A and B are shown apart, each in its own frame.
Chain A
Amino acid sequence: MTTNTPLTQPHPLQDRFGRQVAARLSAGASELPYDVTERLRAARVQALAKRKVVSLRTAGAVQASGGAATLSFGDEGLSLWSRIGSAIPLVALVLGLVLIHTVQNELRASEVAEVDAALLTDDLPPSAYADPGFAQFLKSGGE
Chain B
Amino acid sequence: MATERELSDFLKGVEKRAFKRSIYHVRDEEAALDIVQDSMMKLAEHYGDKPPAELPMLFQRILSNCTLDWFRRQKTRNALFSNMSDFESSTEDGDFDLLETYAVVEGSQQVESAEDSTRRAQILRQIESEIQELPARQREAFLMRYWEDMDVAETAAAMGCSEGSVKTHCSRAVQALSKALKAKGIQL
Chain A interface (Cβ within 8 Å of chain B)? 1-2, 5, 7-11, 14-15, 17-22, 24-34, 36-37, 39-40, 43-44, 46-48, 50-55
Task: Out of A19, A24, A31, A43, name the residue touching B127 (CB < 8 Å).
Answer: A24
Judging by beta carbons under 8 Å apart, are B37 and A24 in contact? no
Quick one: which of B29, B128, B171 contacts A14, CB cutoff 8 A? B171
- A18 touches which one: B15, B96, B146 (CB < 8 A)? B146
Taken residue by residue from 121 to 161, chain B's Cβ proximity to chain A (1 for < 8 Å, 0 otherwise) reads as: 10110011001000000000011011101000000000000
Contacts A26-B17, A40-B19 given; indicate if A33 touches B103 (C-beta within 8 A): yes
CB-CB under 8 A from B7, the residues of chain A are 48, 51
Selected A-B contacts with CB under 8 Å, 5 pairs: A17-B177, A22-B149, A40-B33, A44-B15, A48-B11
Is A17 a contact of B40 with CB atoms below 8 Å?
Answer: no
Closest A residue to B120 by beta carbon equals A27
Tell me if A47 and B170 are in contact (CB < 8 A).
no
At the interface, is chain B mostly helix, strand, loop or mixed?
helix
Q: Which of B41, B96, B127, B143 contacts A47 (CB 8 A)?
A: B41
Which B144-188 residues have C-beta < 8 A from chain A?
A: 145-147, 149, 164, 167-168, 170-172, 174-175, 177-179, 188
A55: chain B residues at CB < 8 Å are 48
Does B124 contact A7, Cβ atoms closer than 8 Å?
no
Please measure, in the bound complex, the distance between the C-alpha atom of A54 and the C-alpha atom of B146, giving whole angstroms: 34
A43 to B99, CA, bound (A): 23
Label chain A's interface by main secondary structure.
helix
Q: Which of B8, B16, B143 contacts A32 (CB 8 A)?
A: B16
User: Judging by beta carbons under 8 Å apart, are A25 and B127 in contact?
Assistant: yes
Chain B: interface residue total (CB-CB under 8 A): 51
- Please pick, from A14, A22, A32, A40, the residue contacting B100 in the complex, using a CB distance under 8 A: A32
Residues of A within 8 A of B114 (CB): none
The chain A residue with its CB closest to the CB of B177 is A21
Q: Told that A48-B7, A51-B48 touch, could you supply 20 new A-B pairs with CB distance under 8 A?
A: A2-B172, A8-B167, A8-B171, A17-B174, A18-B146, A21-B188, A24-B124, A25-B131, A27-B124, A29-B19, A30-B16, A32-B100, A34-B103, A36-B19, A36-B29, A43-B40, A44-B8, A44-B11, A47-B40, A54-B45
The chain B residue sitting closest to A31, CB to CB, is B104
Residues of B within 8 A of A37 (CB): 16
Asked if B164 and A29 make an inter-chain contact with CB atoms under 8 angstroms apart, the answer reads: no
For A24, list chain B residues within 8 Å (CB).
123-124, 127, 188
The verdict on B20 contacting chain A, using a C-beta distance below 8 Å, is yes
In the assembled complex, the Cα of A24 lies from the Cα of B5 at a distance in Å of 29
In B35-68, the 8 Å CB interface with A consists of: 36-37, 40-41, 43-45, 48-49
